[in-house]
Amino acid sequence: MSDLIEIKLNEGELEGTSASFAAWLVKVGDKVTQGQPVAELETDKVVMEVCAPADGYIENLSANIGDSIVVDQVLATISQTATVTSQEPDEAEVVKTIEPKAVFSESSVTQQPLNKSAKELLSPAVRRLIKENNLSIEQINGSGKGGRITRDDVKAYLASGASTTSKPELSIPASTSITERTSRELVGNKIPHSPMRKSIASHMVESLLHTSPHVTSVFEMDMSAVIKHRKQHKAEFEKQGVNLSFTAYFLAAMCQGIKAVPQVNARFHEDALELFEDVNIGVGTALGDKGLVVPVIEQVQQMSLFEIAHNLQLQTVKARDGKLTTKDMQNGSITISNHGVSGSLFATPIIINQPQVAILGVGKLEKRVVVKTIDDEDYMVIKPMCYVSLSIDHRALDAHQTNQFLSVFVDTIEAWK
């Protein structure tokens, strides 16, 4: 038909990432408007929506859940006239054109019985939330089209406290006997890998074993000056809605290290080392058991501490709310892993985020006894310390550049004013 419009991924939407089809948000015959989400894909990092390119009616759905999706692949078609398919007595297929029905008023819509099939049509993000919190879809009212449950519906339900249950009291029998247990075969439960977990596994193996010879240097860092500065300015930042985190200081100090050692902010090619003018820092953000994402803060070298903290907060919130797009994780030139927030002192090697040549790691902040020389006398003092590491691609960098970068980074943090 001449009025058919294709729904497909255009060049640039995936940006080199792989994607699998996750869910349809519409069915054949549904009326859609331009920009309305009609499907969800899972890439190696995020769940992304595919939107209708024009107003019309869903004519055909071509993709199935689990299919690998590539650029320019037609996922569905939209007709600009509504059609239904019926069977005549001779079993021939006849297409009849119908006029669009009048739209229900808001009051009449709310009185319609719940569309059970729509309520059961869950996106991957909603399915994960429901599974993680051991909920039933029957417990949750859906605000989406036809009663479809959205992520916000689940979060609102959890926030209401309706899902909380009291823990059973521990009961101990009046008399107990201990018997020797016999051995039995180990029984497990296989949990299928998500596309994100599969991609992380593939990237880690590729980076460490097939691409970059990793070498890691570790320095020690006194955080006294930064702690003092943060204490003086944290309330000032909060009044403007910005959280002043230690990570913001680390990003600023990375720019100073890169200014001294530009080779750290680079990409290795077989015939050359490509140095970047912009410092686009990827910030490793853990999503619990779901995996790890790396949103990018672009052009950090041009930002004040306030601007760094503001942009860092925006990307971190998007990451934890599952709202990152592929664009949010592109164009990184170097990465930081602030793994100390989860308690580790240092980690090595931290795997390089290809095609970058270096990744910074910052360990747990803790008070330790260290030796300081004051007026040529050595004293044992208690200082807030942490380990900082740089894992590098040894094809692109050597120990000299690695240690020089770390020296400037540490000096910047320790002399912060």
Q: What is the pLDDT of residue 93?
A: 36
Whether residue 189 lies inside any domain: the answer is no
Q: What is the CATH number of the domain that holds 222?
A: 3.30.559.10
pTM over 0.85: no
CA contacts within 13 A on the Cβ side of 277 = 1
Parallel/antiparallel/unpaired status of strands 93-97 and 83-87: antiparallel
- Residue 149 sits in the same domain as residue 258: no
Q: Residue 313 above 90 pLDDT?
A: yes
Confidence of residue 116 (pLDDT cuts 50, 70, 90): very low
Q: What are the pLDDT digits (tens) for 149-175? A: 887 788 888 888 765 444 445 455 555
Q: Which residue from 8, 407, 18 is spatially nearest to 221, judged by alpha carbons?
A: 407
Catalytic residue numbers, as ranges: 394, 398
Q: What is the mean pLDDT of residues 224-242?
A: 96
Residue 79 and residue 128 in one domain:
no
Residue 237 lies in a domain: yes
Please write down the HEC assignment for all residues of 248-298: HHHHHHHHHHHHHCHHHCEEEECCEEEECCCCCEEECEECHHHCEECCEEC
pLDDT tens per residue, range 190-205:
878 777 777 778 878 8
Average pLDDT of span 282-298 = 88
- 387-402 per-position pLDDT tens digit: 999 999 999 999 999 9
Q: Evaluate whether residue 188 is within a structural domain.
A: no
Beta bridge partners, 50, equal 39
Q: What is the pLDDT of residues 33-66, one digit of tens each?
A: 888 888 888 776 677 788 888 899 999 898 888 7
Q: Are residues 129 and 71 in the same domain?
A: no
Scanning the structure block, which residue is given the tokens 């530009």?
Answer: 262
What pLDDT is stored for residue 336 in this prediction?
97
Mean pLDDT of the chain: 82
Per-residue confidence (pLDDT) for residue 369, from 0 to 100: 95
- Cα dihedral 344, 345, 348, 354, rounded to 10, equals 60
Per-residue pLDDT at 173: 57
pLDDT confidence of residue 88: 38
| Count of the separate structural domains present in the chain | 3
- Share of residues in the chain with pLDDT > 70 (%): 82
Per-residue pLDDT for 234 more than 70?
A: yes
- Residue with more model confidence, 18 or 294: 294
pLDDT value at residue 359: 97
* Helix or strand (DSSP H, E) at 320: helix 305-320
Do 137 and 227 fall into the same domain? no
**Domain containing 66: what range?**
1-101
| SS3 state at 12 | coil
Q: In this structure, are 382 and 236 located in the same domain?
A: yes
Residues 133 and 22 in one domain: no
The pLDDT of residue 208 is above 50: yes
The confidence score (pLDDT) of residue 39 equals: 87
Q: State the pLDDT at residue 118.
A: 57
Identify any residues that bridge with 93 across adjacent strands, giving them in sequence order.
87
Q: What is the pLDDT of residue 290?
A: 77
User: 308 and 211 share a domain?
Assistant: yes
